[in-house]
Amino acid sequence: EAQVTQNPRYLITVTGKKLTVTCSQNMNHEYMSWYRQDPGLGLRQIYYSMNVEVTDKGDVPEGYKVSRKEKRNFPLILESPSPNQTSLYFCASSFGGSNTEAFFGQGTRLTVV
Amino acid sequence: GNSVTQMEGPVTLSEEAFLTINCTYTATGYPSLFWYVQYPGEGLQLLLKATKADDKGSNKGFEATYRKETTSFHLEKGSVQVSDSAVYFCALDEGIYGQNFVFGPGTRLSVLP
């Protein structure tokens, strides 16, 4: 089954404690991205990757890091989480291009206290 | 920059009622337009899309027409069902090499039996 898998689904952590949210896709997609979803703001792109070892900032990259060492995986790293990073995070993948469908993971709800 | 505006709701309808969710956009170029749907506890799923002016996207009884002259992409369904209860996101993408969706804030729809 074609899917994007994120882990964990729920995470509560304390300010400053480094964490990683994993994302994996099984569709051989070149393009992967991370979004955060906040009430009234919709989804905003954090980082994206057009292929292995190619990553770039989205609209709200501050406080986040990513890596793309393998085509299927695109982890999101918070080196020093802060309460304003409490949000619902989605990973997405696609073949890229402006008219292709993006497939989304089920989301990771992160709470930073 | 690019932006998407949509009615935030919540929208509450009775089963078999007619649905319209308005969406307007601002873009510098000629984006592709999308409607994504998010069911409770799940990631976003593509509902329909249109890639050029006057295109009509349709799926599961939902329709939307790309109107360049009014920069709109309103979502309609003639007869909603309880199972249509979800959050609906209008989005545009004009990425050339990759994909960078700009999402609206989402409209929560509740359909009552």
Q: Using one digit for the tens of pLDDT, what is the confidence trace for B42-53?
A: 889 999 999 889
Q: Taking CB atoms and an 8 Å cutoff, what residues of chain B touch A102?
A: 44, 46, 99, 101
Average pLDDT on A2-7 reads 92
Average pLDDT on B77-91 reads 96
Contact B21, B44 (CB under 8 A): no
Is the pLDDT reported for residue B41 higher than 70?
yes
DSSP character at residue A73:
B
Integer CA distances (angstroms), B94 to A4, A40, A59, B56, in order: 23, 23, 15, 18
Q: Phi first, then psi: what are they for A83, rounded to 5°?
A: -55, -30
Contact A57, A66 (CB under 8 A): no
- The whole-angstrom separation of Cα B30 and Cα A98 is 10
Interface of A to B at Cβ within 8 Å reads: 4, 31, 33, 35, 40-45, 48, 50, 58-59, 90, 92, 94, 96-102, 104-107
pLDDT of residue B96: 62
Hey, which residues does A65 pair with through a beta bridge?
A77
Hey, which residues does B108 pair with through a beta bridge?
B87
A-chain residue closest to B35, CA distance: A101
Most A CBs within 10 A among B48, B87, B99, B107, hence the mutation to make, goes to B99
Is the pLDDT reported for residue B97 higher than 70?
no
Q: Which residues contact B43 (CB under 8 A, 6 or more apart)?
A: A4, A90, A104, A105, A106, A107
Mean of per-residue pLDDT scores for chain B:
91
pLDDT of residue B86: 96
3-class DSSP state of A40: coil
Closest CA to B90 of B38, B46, B35, B43: B35
Closest CA to A6 of A88, A95, A70: A88
User: pLDDT digits over A56-107, tens only?
Assistant: 999 899 999 999 999 999 999 999 999 999 999 999 999 877 677 889 999 9
Is the pLDDT reported for residue B25 higher than 70?
yes
3-class DSSP state of A112: strand
- Partner-chain residue, chosen from A35, A50, A90, that has the shortest CB–CB distance to B98: A50
pLDDT of residue B55: 95
Asked if B99 and A48 come within 8 Å (Cβ–Cβ), the reply is yes
Taking CB atoms and an 8 Å cut-off, how many pairs form between chains A and B?
70
DSSP character at residue B61:
T
Contact B49, A99 (CB under 8 A): yes
pLDDT of residue B42: 85
Pairing type for strands A87-94 and B3-6 reads unpaired
Residue type, B61: G
Is the pLDDT reported for residue A12 higher than 90?
yes
- The whole-angstrom separation of Cα B71 and Cα B87 is 22
User: pLDDT digits over A37-64, tens only?
Assistant: 998 888 899 999 989 999 999 989 999 9
Q: Taking CB atoms and an 8 Å cutoff, what residues of chain B touch A92?
A: 44
